[in-house]
Amino acid sequence: MNSLAQQATAPTPLMQIAGVTKRYGGLVALNNVSLELTQGEIIGLIGPNGAGKTTLVNVITGVQQPDEGEILFEGKRIDRAPAYQIARRGIGRTFQIVQPFPRMTVLENVAAGAMFAGKAHSVAEAMDRASACLAFVGLTAMTSMPASQLTLPGRKRLELAKGLATNPRLLLLDEVNAGLNATEIEGALDLIKAIAARGITIVLIEHLMKVVMRASSRIVVLHQGVLIADGQPANVIRDPQVVEAYLGADYRHAEATG
Ligand SMILES: Nc1ncnc2c1ncn2[C@@H]1O[C@H](COP(=O)(O)OP(=O)(O)O)[C@@H](O)[C@H]1O
Ligand SMILES: [Mg+2]
């Protein structure tokens, strides 16, 4: 069996996921998933609850290891590397369930992210980087607050700032907009586009199809651990399998153009 590393001839994709399977006991959370990410894309990752989206983020970031398959980042295997090493290589994420260190300030929480990824050589440097990231996400006014005092939109922005503080080349956003109102979502969309404009490749896990359609250059669909579609947004939302599994028959008329 040839490994992907030996086959590479064309320009190396940013990430190659090949035949990744992850089981929890008898449950197959990811079933032979293969996917390539190209630098500069915003990839919308959608699918019903329980489809395996967060599990995919977890195996990419080393929180969990796949049972089968390979993951290469910039041509190098990462699927057996520990999470901190993967962060250091340039893969950042946000967590669907936001859990800041409650008693640390907002600034300290972000600085901790920078330290984890080894992107700061001193605490002072980590704090500087954290300040810049907080400014970028619009949280400068909350810098010195205990993180526990942030509202949900604030905690979501804190997650983004933590992810950015690791200085990633690939950033995985796990439902970073969930629970936000329409105005807050507009702000979040602008932010995601601004991050992409810095050259950071983004995987966006998102339930709101309006947001997915506006942000994504490509959409990937998971259903019961299986990757059932991967392509241009306009094509993917018309795919009968995707309509059946996720969008519902009314979707194309009701929302796609909204
Ligand atoms: N740590 C775990 N232990 C056991 N089952 C899990 C674990 N994490 C996720 N699962 C199961 O794996 C499936 C995929 O979950 P998840 O990746 O969180 O889906 P999604 O993010 O798409 O909603 C679900 O059936 C979920 O219950
Ligand atoms: Mg999830």
Say if domain 1-90+168-258 classifies as CATH 3.30.70.260.
Answer: no
Q: Is the pLDDT of residue 150 over 50?
A: yes
Task: Give the per-residue pLDDT at 253.
Answer: 46
For the entire predicted model, the pTM comes to 0.90
Which residues have C-beta under 5 Å from ligand 2, the single-atom ion?
A: 53-54, 96
The rounded Å distance from CA 198 to ligand 1 centre is: 32
Instruction: Enumerate the CATH 3.40.50.300 domain ranges in the chain, comma separated.
Output: 1-90+168-258
The rounded Å distance from CA 29 to ligand 1 centre is: 6
Q: Nearest 5 degrees, angle CA 147-CA 151-CA 154?
A: 70
Q: Is the pLDDT of residue 5 over 90?
A: no
Task: Give the per-residue pLDDT at 2.
Answer: 52
